């Protein structure tokens, strides 16, 4: 039987997304096996991150300065904004190394059943950017699920009056995937997004 302190530690790790009870217990035991100096360092790093990391007032990405590195980079294409759900998506795009425009982080997607309505997303600052900056293209890069599609439709209706090009990333069969195992919606999207070779 676990002690009260161990149970509390397991409960805290269990609150993390994707961490079940067994994983939480493994993490708790790992912390208990750490040297005291390692635990102190872990606490310091955690506290420092929580205090110094904030949201960029322009795009909503994570940053430690007044404005994020991407928004302050004068070499980026300032006429294109790629809209993503959260900062993790930016990391994926930046790893690819092909996209050289700016980003805008919504902070989620419209999901009324979960209480996420448009007013809870970072949309107001997006409209300010489109109004005040010389934006020529908006790329919608939201996950291809029901909420992502709903959010894309909502944003398209909001942005159409500005007369700028609105595009959406293609979705379909991933590289290395098998058509045999793909569902019909994925195959349909792959066909719709086909390009001339």
- Is residue 67's pLDDT more than 70? yes
Tell me the CATH number for domain 77-170+177-192. 3.40.1360.10
Question: How distant, in Å, are the alpha carbons of 103, 124, 129, 156, 157 from that of 140?
Answer: 10, 16, 15, 9, 12
**What are the tens digits of pLDDT across the range 157-184?**
999 999 999 998 877 767 666 667 777 7
Question: How distant, in Å, are the alpha carbons of 2, 13, 152, 161, 178 from that of 108?
Answer: 37, 23, 12, 23, 30
Task: Report the percentage of the chain scoring pLDDT > 90.
Answer: 75
pTM: 0.81
Give me the pLDDT at residue 140, please.
Answer: 92
SS3 at position 195:
coil
**What are the tens digits of pLDDT across the range 127-137?**
999 999 999 99
Residue 24: half-sphere exposure toward Cβ, Cα within 13 Å: 16
């Amino acid at each position: 039987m676990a002690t009260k302190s161990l149970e509390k530690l397991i409960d805290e790790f269990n609150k993390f997304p994707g961490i079940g009870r067994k994983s939480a217990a493994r993490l708790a035991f790992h912390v208990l096996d750490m040297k005291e100096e390692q635990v102190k360092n872990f606490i310091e790093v955690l506290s420092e991150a929580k205090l110094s990391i904030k949201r960029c007032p322009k795009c909503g990405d994570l940053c430690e300065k007044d404005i994020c590195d991407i928004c302050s980079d004068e070499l980026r294409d300032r006429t294109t904004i790629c809209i993503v759900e959260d900062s993790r998506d930016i990391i994926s795009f930046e790893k690819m190394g092909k996209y050289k425009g700016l980003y805008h982080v919504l902070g989620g997607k419209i999901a009324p059943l979960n209480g996420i309505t448009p007013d809870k997303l970072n949309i107001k600052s997006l409209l300010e950017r489109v109004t005040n900056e010389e934006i020529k293209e908006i790329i919608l890069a939201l996950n291809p699920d029901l909420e992502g599609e709903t959010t894309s439709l909502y944003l398209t209706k909001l942005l159409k009056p500005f007369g700028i090009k609105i595009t959406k990333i293609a979705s379909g069969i991933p590289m290395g995937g098998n058509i045999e195992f793909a569902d019909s919606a994925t195959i349909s999207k792959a066909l719709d997004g086909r390009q001339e070779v």
